[in-house]
Structure 1
Amino acid sequence: MDVPELLEAASLLVPEEIATENDITVNDIWDYLTKDEWEVALGLLEELGDVHPLPFSFWESLATAAEQMRLEESAAWCHWRGYETRNGIIRADLTLRPGTEARRQTPISGAGVLRPMWNIGNRTATGEPALSIALLWVELTPFLEPGGRASVRLAPLDPSQWQHLQPNQVITMHEDRSVAGTAVVLEVHRPTATPSP
């Protein structure tokens, strides 16, 4: 499918009554599609996806359209949201340790590239902490500096290990044996329905 077909397919999955904070609805998106303003339509569809849970196929159509338009960050975000549709959402408030106290001296990328380990309370058979890996997406900023603080989204490589997480639980981020940051869990949402293929 080409870009307009992908965006149209995604639009058909959005309930008509859903609106963004600015009262944009899927009907407005159809206007942008008829004017070939695909990038605007893509951005508004992403916003609608934040208002109401939409199926995996919605996010995959948007990701493919973004890739065809060479919008790498939008494509990465839509793939991320597709993952969350299938596996659930984990959001946390992360504070990195300052560069004077931690190994990391450079900012981390916010776009889901870093795969740190996390102490989420699991233990090995001998009682040692069992660290679990999750990709990290920093919200509303392209980078997080050492010592910085931001809301983040986590995408566990093995979501079954993370089922016990609860809001207000404190977890720690590790890039080696030392603690690189501390996070307080803000939200945990399990998948709400069986995702479409």
Structure 2
Amino acid sequence: MTTGPLKLAVILGSVREGRFGEVVTHWYAGLAREHGAFEVDVVDLAETELPLVLPETPPAMATEELRPAGMLPLSAKLAAADAFVVVTPEYNHSFPASLKALIDWHLTEWRAKPVGFVSYGAQSGGLRAVEQLRQVFAEMHAATIRDGVAFPNYWEAFGEDGRPRDTEGTGGAAKVMLDELAWWGTALHEARRKTPYNPQP
């Protein structure tokens, strides 16, 4: 069994000027801390160097040595995490390039760990971005959980206090998601401890 709370990295995926993601991330991270199963670390991609140009292929074996120095603290946080939550907007039916750069610069950090999603957008609430991220994380040998939280028409969904107007509905959805993350995070933590996960390339 784990000896303490699971380490949960909440990733703020938008780096855009005037982004709304900070509001969503602050709200969700607060609920995650109140849940009791997690030690929460917010990872803001706007504070990290994430070059779009990757090392010469194949990068999988080289990125750890070739990552920029400014990326190393973030990489350490990802490696230490037991679970992830990605907070993503939807841009043009997809997710931001910053998230793809983050994923592509890392390989083993995601393996055999659960990933949940909080999304926001227009009518779809960012769900098209989430469905594409599920495919990407499957390739990274991560386990995406079923339930998430989505905010359609996000500009109407939050009050001036930074909290969702539908406190009961969104809070209930967040709790379901956090409960699933806790179960998967604990199960996979124990599995990795007993048998290191080393898939064949």
Which TM-score band (shorter chain)?
under 0.3
Report the TM-score, using the length of structure 2 for normalisation. 0.24
Q: Max radius of gyration: which structure? A: 1
Report the TM-score, using the length of structure 1 for normalisation. 0.24
Whichever structure has more strand as a proportion of its residues is 1
Whichever structure has more helix as a proportion of its residues is 2
